[in-house]
Amino acid sequence: MKALSLAVVALIATAWVPASGGQAPPSGIGTKTIKVIVLNYDPILRGKGSVRLSRHMKWGDPHAMTPAIVSALRQCSGGFADYRVVDFIDVDAFPAKRDGFSYDEKGFLEMWADRSKAHQPDSVSYAAIFRRHHLAERIRREGIGEIWLWGAPYFGWDEYAMKIPGDRLFYPTENPWFYRPYDIPDVGRTIWVMGWNYERGVAEAIHSFGHRVEGILSLTVGKGIWDHKKTPDNIWNHFTKQAAQFPNDAQVGNVHGGPNAEGGYDYAQKKAVLSAADDWLNYPNLTGAKTLISCKAWGGPDYHLNYMKWWLTRLPKAPGARDGFYCNWWQYVCCYDEAVKRMPPPGGRLAPATNAMR
């Protein structure tokens, strides 16, 4: 988790209406209920009046941000992603890192004043978190699908992590960022662990979820590849095209920028380009129709948050299948095990991942 200052954003889970190109999602995709345990690592600072770290630092409130995220994902998925928080635990502790180190109150505040004192290696021990909270047992007993972590910068978790049983993927990949098991225990089913930062806001949390989407779709629909030069005809690669590289064939873009982006994080770009982004709301019945797209399409003032919602809303979410893959890509994002069991990815063969973040 990177330490970046940011004014606290509004944390109200209000309805969001696209500024342009909006339409109701296709019917018939159903709903997937996913049980979530939220672990809010927010230690009480005894030397600062016994307030929690997030309050002392005047950072965001995970209790407010979490329902905003749940609401946004339900809306963007056309109602498919029905996240249910079954337990929200405020943890009075600093998480242990993989080498056994943990900050204490004094050490963390000193490090925050002088970042050169940050402990390295930074990586958190997911295994220690699972042991402390008996997560493997709860996942098996209660049918928990995801763990959502909240914490401060330098707590050491990644934006997202996932563990697939046996680390077996259907397609080989050269990109280790797609699959991130780290030291998450194998619980016999795929488990997602989102890693969020209460120094930041809802936009950054959904941004992290967007990278999860990019990773799992690269491993499934993308067949292990997210590279326009290597697989130019792949539908996932096609979805992410931007005008900067494809001036005559811009589509939706990626998490770091829309079809009109001229660089990373260019969410407030006013330049308009011809893009087929809105046509993806018709998937799989794409017509190729293009409209002018600029930041007005998702609107401000929080262009980052609104772009994330706009982008996620254009992920295919229709009934049926095309070329051996679900037309509802949220199947892979939210219920991977069920999706690949019912419809094994075409031409795929399960084999241990050779490139992964460990």
Give the tokens for residue 62.
Answer: 């995970």
Residues whose CB is less than 8 angstroms from the CB of residue 350 and which lie 6 or more positions away in sequence, other chains included = 166, 168, 169, 170
Crossing angle (nearest 10°) for helices 303-313 and 202-219: 30
Alpha-carbon span 83 to 73, nearest angstrom: 8
Q: What residue ranges do the domains of the chain occupy?
A: 33-219, 235-328
β-sheet bridge partners, residue 161 = 193
Determine the Cα angle at 102 with ends 97 and 106, to 5°: 150
DSSP string, 64-94: HHHHHHHHHHHHHTTT-EEEEEEEEEEE-SP
The pLDDT score that the predictor gives to residue 28 is 77
Nearest to 185 by CA among 136, 122, 133: 136
The pLDDT score that the predictor gives to residue 7 is 32
Determine the Cα angle at 189 with ends 210 and 212, to 5°: 10
Give the tokens for residue 144.
Answer: 């928990």
Report mean pLDDT in 10-residue bins for the chain, 358 residues: 33 32 57 98 99 99 99 98 99 99 99 99 99 99 99 99 99 98 98 99 99 99 98 98 98 99 98 99 98 99 99 98 98 98 98 97
Nearest to 146 by CA among 201, 66, 53, 90: 66
Alpha-carbon span 179 to 182, nearest angstrom: 9
Give the tokens for residue 146.
Answer: 């995801």
φ, ψ of residue 277 to 5 degrees: the values are -55, -45
Determine the Cα angle at 281 with ends 277 and 283, to 5°: 105
- The torsion defined by the Cα of 238, 241, 246 and 248, in degrees rounded to 10, comes to 70
β-sheet bridge partners, residue 292 = 274
Give the tokens for residue 202.
Answer: 């809802």
C-alpha to C-alpha distances, 293 to 126, 267, 274, 335, nearest whole angstrom: 41, 12, 6, 32
φ, ψ of residue 220 to 5 degrees: the values are -115, -85
What letter represents residue 346's amino acid?
Answer: P
- Contact between 130 and 142 (Cβ < 8 Å): no
